[in-house]
Structure 1
Amino acid sequence: MKGSGAAPARDQRAGNGGHDVAYRRMTVEKRRAQLLAAALELFAHHAPEDVSLDDVAHAAEVSRPLVYRYFPGGKQQLYEAALRSAAEDLERCFAEPETGPLTRRLSRALDRYLSFVDEHDAGFTALLQGGSVAETSRTNAIVDEVRRAAAVQILRHMRVPEPGARLRMMVRTWITVVEAASLIWLDEDKQPPADELRDWLVDHFIALLAATAASDPQTARVTRAALTLETADARLGSLARRVIPVLGDAAHLLDVGPPESDPRTPR
């Protein structure tokens, strides 16, 4: 093509699966971002094996050769790049200012997480359930990076630079619960409503934290520190008002002694 770099953007046409497509000249970064956005939209609602490069080209309104130009490795390379982009979005879900009650921070993070799940329903299911022909050790590593990044963020909110094995396990177990609940939520036609699911998951976090604190001194110290930031109207207060009567009845029926009678209870 002749002409200077200052030439105005122009439409170009090329065959694409029997369709004419028009696209504007873009910088390399913008074009790559456009193709990734088109791919993410398709992978969000279809399993990877059901999406072709022609589909991506059509959605981006470019030619198939142009997609290959940016992703010479074909659909697998494009899928992994789209997955990494989605993973970065998921990691940002847990980025939250480290102020205020811990349960409120978790609630805001879960709001973003569940919104992502809602917008990428089919793709999220295919990603976490596995079995896709596009699944490789690299895609699995990308997904695991998201889990580890989420755990790091949560532990940072708990102000634990060097967590012990039990606390790490508790946090990673909760992340697994969040993933599993999200998949079930999609399978149940997104019921209960997202805000109810969010509150239920925060309750699970509190329950896991309390159960771990009962036998792990480090978690007990972290829990006490977190309690100082909670307020009566935060999620912990709501859960306490609902659970204490139940636990009180259970303690009476089982004739449970005071906490000091359990040698494992952290002091």
Structure 2
Amino acid sequence: MTTGVRRRMGVEERRQQLIGVALELFSHRSPDEVSIDEIAAAAGISRPLVYHYFPGKQSLYEAALRRAADELATRFLEPREGPLGARLLRVMGRFFDFVDEHGPGFAALMRGGPAVGSSTTTAMIDGVRQAACEQILNHLGVQEPPPRLELVVRSWVSLAESTALIWLDGRRIPRAELEMQLVHDFAALTAVSAAYNEEMAGIMLRALAQEPADGPFGDLLVRLSALAPAVAAVPPQRLR
């Protein structure tokens, strides 16, 4: 039988509760549109009590973004087992799960939101991107990436980010198609770089050696092969 007496939270427990409440609200609306009064009401406390734990909305906003950034970084974690294409596809699935669940919060994190220009927020965003790049390099089995590979990986992480932001604006393309397309984009970026550099060619060939014909990279080859007759039919002068 309950007594109806509300348990008093410790300082850190209350802080974590407020961060969770803020994140939940930011998942449905832009942080710009969420007031301290709404956060207080959702947490079941008074507005002055929110300020007891956080000096202002900015500090609460940054704390919520920190938790979101940490969670987003974990979405790129994947055991280094099996074909690379399948691993990247699972990573993209978890990445878009986060984007889908925390749309406005994800947009705020990547675009800066109310904290635009804040060195703290910039560091959070850079940390997520760096963690993602390190995970992709780990999947490739490369500890000290050559400049061209680093360029490919960083470009791909930026592409995934911008693709997700555009997708959030109406979700006009099926999510599963975008996830597969981004895996194909990684293969395409790597292949173009490999065409210019022998070291990149070796990295790509090692990755492809374990790819099954029915995997994501095999699917890309099938799609490109279907385009080959149409490309071959284009008059040479059109390709110059």
Instruction: Name stretches of at least 5 consecutive residues in structure 1 with no aligned partner.
Output: 1-7, 12-23, 256-267
Aligned to 1:206: 187
% identical equivalent positions: 48
Helix, strand or coil: the match of 1:45? coil
- Structure 1 distance, partners of 2:134, 2:229, is 35
Which segment drifts farther, 57-66 or 228-237?
A: 57-66
Would you say the 8 A contact 1:48–1:134 is kept in 2?
no
TM-score by length of 2: 0.89
Note the C-alpha offset of 1:252.
7.7
Check if 1:108 corresponds to 2:103. no
Instruction: Name stretches of at least 5 consecutive residues in structure 2 with no aligned partner.
Output: none
Check if 1:10 corresponds to 2:5. yes
Aligned to 1:60: 43
Aligned to 2:149: 167
- Structure 2 distance, partners of 1:252, 1:164, is 37
Note the C-alpha offset of 1:227.
1.0
Check if 1:190 corresponds to 2:205. no
Helix, strand or coil: the match of 2:27? helix
Which of 6, 13, 16 is 1:30 aligned to? 13
- Structure 2 distance, partners of 1:138, 1:247, is 49
Check if 1:150 corresponds to 2:132. yes
Number of paired residues?
233
Structure exhibiting the larger radius of gyration computed from Cα positions:
1
Helix, strand or coil: the match of 1:191? coil
| Larger RCO, structures 1/2 (Cα 8 Å, 6+ apart) | 2
Q: Which structure is higher in helix share?
A: 2
User: Partner letter of residue 203 of structure 2?
Assistant: V
User: Partner letter of residue 75 of structure 1?
Assistant: K
User: Partner letter of residue 78 of structure 2?
Assistant: E
Note the C-alpha offset of 1:246.
2.6
Which of 222, 225, 236 is 1:244 aligned to? 225
Q: Deviations over 1:99-118 (max 9, x none)?
A: 11111111111111111111
CA-atom RMSD in angstroms: 2.0
Note the C-alpha offset of 1:179.
1.1
Note the C-alpha offset of 1:44.
2.0
Helix, strand or coil: the match of 1:34? helix
Which of 208, 221, 229 is 1:227 aligned to? 208
Q: 1:179 to 1:237 in 2, by over 3 A?
A: same
Which segment drifts farther, 204-213 or 61-70?
A: 61-70
